[in-house]
Structure 1
């Protein structure tokens, strides 16, 4: 009995030991095989860092306002007899636009004219009698006062009559009529809008930190979201106070609008051009990876692969970034001219990873290279970057 039990225990121990040994042996072999495997180099896009000419700018959103634009209002109550304009008509200064019933004023003007004629005749007779010495001086003074009163009454009636005839205060494009013939209107009622579209103002706001960069006469460029409108202009006004609620400063610029594409109230992208800076280190925004620990860039170093000289290694460096312009971002610290950096494919990289440069395929904006591109402006004022040595185009950004 004891012998059989002993043999069973020995056999069980051998089985368990074999299982443990096999598991340990398998893990050792797997580790040995994996340890000898070298991962294939990761294909990446790369770019050499060179100093560039930086064209800084202040980006903002603005609203178009016509240099001359008003809502035309009724000056006197009454029935409308004539509407002498149509929608979107080009009108000239002084052109009659509306006629309100003025029969009562015309009758009053005729009565005032007759009263003035009578007062002048009475004054003339009183003056003749006074000159002959048979008339009192007070009679002449009364007659002359009546003349002035009659003239004032005539001027008052004429003013009321003029208010029945509404004219354009300046040349421009008139809007949709808001009144109809036969409609009774009262003073202050809007009957149309008149806009001079040849020159436009653009109102926008900038943060208080950028007040020092603004100056009267400074160049600005504007672009609309629709219609393809682009223009350059000048700053004509800077509000001398900061809004305590938003900490923003209101700015006004003026641009030309000869084609009439820009309309009042339209949304605009505004860029304020600032002086150029030489020797700035700027890289594609896709090259910078941001995390809670900071911003990093992968720099390509020389590899140790003797069999394939195209295989390189990367080093992950922390950098300090600054301003952004278009698809470029300024690097203040961490990079120097001549460094070769990874511009796409870094999501598969780690410190010391093996890479192989392949610039044959570039990431297009449609694939997400520039998720928030800066709106284009006219070439004269569009902030961006270009090499200091020659006006070469920027390399295409990559992932």
Structure 2
């Protein structure tokens, strides 16, 4: 019996070791099984935020000023520098004309006529100075009138010559060009129209129920279809409300529009009326509904094994918000991990694993400092 005892002890020890080894293997298998059945989810951290209250409207862009470009002197088109829809800068040439055949020498003829009138007046004045009463005062007055008329004719001829080149009065877009090179244009003919593109106004119809939330000076995001977004300001509120349609017209002005804006383009307006602040703000997509009650799934670490996580349902009381975000008044705290994607198949206490968590790199200054003080592997560089 005494001889067998050591064997029994050895066997017992081996059995105990085998049992311990079996427990370790079982634990590892259980962990692996949990990992296999844990559902992957994407989470976001609940925290404070603000929600901009926005009123949307639609309207067309209007230029703040326009001008008709009228021919000021008759002529024949020699050069045409613009076409319909072209954008020009102030001072850009639009049209150049040659004078009509009868007006080819108008300036030279006016200069000669002025010289003749001046010489005639000088002769009369010299004669009157030599012989008092030799020239009637009415003749001298008539000669003075002749000089003034000749000067006016010369001024007009010179103006006509300069007016045969038409330039843009301001930065704008040209519309209504319907002429061709070689065409004769008479004085007063409408050549084209120009609309300013340096600033715009928008006259938008707004529902009567929204008007109390608006005031002059509020910022407005203006997004013309297919063009750059720019910011404007409400400059006028409706003076009256259309009772049949239940709307009023407000006016928005944009002084720094996009370079591709054009009068008449259709635009969407987003008017920022106020901002809602909240200690916890979530995207609407993370909030689920069950029997008209709102809830979210919150990821909780297993207290016995922090490496494992499960989900817990949290019922919510919602506050104000917009179509994208909402303030959570009760049911969540800042810092809670809320399931954003992967909610399908979740229920209470279901194990989950966090999937595709976003890594936030340190600021550039800290990173540069770390690289200068450390070598590879995080050890101080020598």
What is the TM-score when the length of structure 1 is the normalising length? 0.54
Shift of 1:284: 0.8
Q: 2:95 & 2:351 partners in 1: Cα distance? A: 71
User: Which deviates further from its counterpart, 120-129 or 267-276?
Assistant: 267-276
SS in 2 for 1:97: strand
Indicate if the aligned counterparts of 1:72 and 1:193 stay in contact, CA closer than 8 A. yes
Q: 1:74 & 1:149 partners in 2: Cα distance? A: 24
Indicate if the aligned counterparts of 2:50 and 2:281 stay in contact, CA closer than 8 A. no
Indicate if the aligned counterparts of 1:55 and 1:277 stay in contact, CA closer than 8 A. yes
Cα shift readout 1:148-183 (whole Å, capped 9, x = no counterpart): 222223333443444333233357887997432223
Shift of 1:51: 1.7
Shift of 1:355: 6.7
- Aligned residue number for residue 146 of structure 2: 146
Indicate if the aligned counterparts of 1:45 and 1:358 stay in contact, CA closer than 8 A. no
Return 5+ residue gaps in structure 2 as ranges.
1-37, 301-307, 357-382
Indicate if the aligned counterparts of 1:173 and 1:194 stay in contact, CA closer than 8 A. yes
SS in 2 for 1:138: helix
Indicate if the aligned counterparts of 1:95 and 1:167 stay in contact, CA closer than 8 A. yes
Shift of 1:285: 1.8
Q: 2:202 & 2:149 partners in 1: Cα distance? A: 50
Q: 2:287 & 2:196 partners in 1: Cα distance? A: 47
User: Against the structure 1 CA distance between its residues 323 and 110, is the aligned structure 2 distance closer, same or farther, given a 3 Å change threshold?
Assistant: same
Shift of 1:279: 4.0
Q: How does 1:1-399 map to 2 (within 5 A)?
A: 47=44, 49-54=46-51, 72-76=69-73, 78-84=75-81, 93=91, 95=93, 97-131=95-129, 132-134=131-133, 135-170=135-170, 178-185=178-185, 187-190=188-191, 201=200, 203=202, 205=204, 208-212=211-215, 214-215=216-217, 226=226, 229=228, 235=233, 238-239=235-236, 241-242=238-239, 244-245=241-242, 246-255=247-256, 260=259, 262-265=260-263, 279-288=278-287, 296-300=293-297, 310=310, 312-313=312-313, 315=315, 317=316, 319-324=318-323, 328-331=324-327, 333=329, 337-338=333-334, 343=340, 354=348, 356=350, 358=352
Indicate if the aligned counterparts of 1:297 and 1:341 stay in contact, CA closer than 8 A. no
User: Against the structure 1 CA distance between its residues 341 and 243, is the aligned structure 2 distance closer, same or farther, given a 3 Å change threshold?
Assistant: farther
Shift of 1:283: 1.4
Q: 2:268 & 2:199 partners in 1: Cα distance? A: 14
User: Against the structure 1 CA distance between its residues 329 and 108, is the aligned structure 2 distance closer, same or farther, given a 3 Å change threshold?
Assistant: same
Return 5+ residue gaps in structure 1 as ranges.
1-40, 363-399
What is the TM-score when the length of structure 2 is the normalising length? 0.56
Shift of 1:145: 1.9
User: Against the structure 1 CA distance between its residues 219 and 320, is the aligned structure 2 distance closer, same or farther, given a 3 Å change threshold?
Assistant: closer
Q: 1:160 & 1:273 partners in 2: Cα distance? A: 53
Indicate if the aligned counterparts of 1:200 and 1:256 stay in contact, CA closer than 8 A. yes
SS in 1 for 2:241: coil
Aligned alpha-carbon RMSD (Å): 5.2
